[in-house]
Amino acid sequence: MMEKIKDGKFEVHEVKTTIKEYNAGDLPAYFKWECGLNPWYMRARVKDGRVVCDQIKETYEGLEYGFSTLGSTFSTSNKPITEDEWRNVMHRLVKQLG
């Protein structure tokens, strides 16, 4: 968004949004981002006292494993999925590696 300059001055605003407050006991949590033909699957979990966000991407070449940010994982554009759906995609990833 463009800010109007008045008397040679302009304002900069920062927007902070809390999507939802979670408790560590709510984790692991599983999400899916539908991006056309190649969905991304995400899991937020606690490891060594920190929240870690795993990510599995479906690509044209197969599945890719990596990590995601907390904000991306809990984005409102993602839909919650079941642990079974996460395990199914993990199983496909392990089969691909084998």
Per the structure, the count of domains in the chain is 1
pLDDT of residue 25: 86
Is 80 in contact with 30 (CB distance < 8 Å)?
yes
- Whether residue 6 is contained in a domain is answered as no
Give a yes or no: residue 84 inside a domain: yes
CA 33 – CA 50 distance, rounded (Å): 23
**Which residues make beta-bridge pairs with 29?**
44
Is 12 within the bounds of a domain? no
**What mean pLDDT do residues 87-91 have?**
97
Q: What is the pLDDT of residue 1?
A: 47
The verdict on residue 17 lying in a domain is no
For residue 26, name the pLDDT band (cuts at 50, 70, 90): confident
Looking at residues 12-20, what average pLDDT do you find?
68
**5 occurs within a structural domain:** no
| Residue 1, domain member (yes or no) | no
Q: For residue 30, what pLDDT band results from cuts at 50, 70 and 90?
A: very high
Q: Taking the mean position of all CA atoms in its chain, how far away is CA 42?
A: 5
- Do 45 and 67 form a contact (C-beta atoms < 8 A)? no
Which residues span the domain enclosing 89?
Answer: 25-97
Lookup: tokens for 9: 């001055």
Residue 20 domain-assigned (yes or no):
no
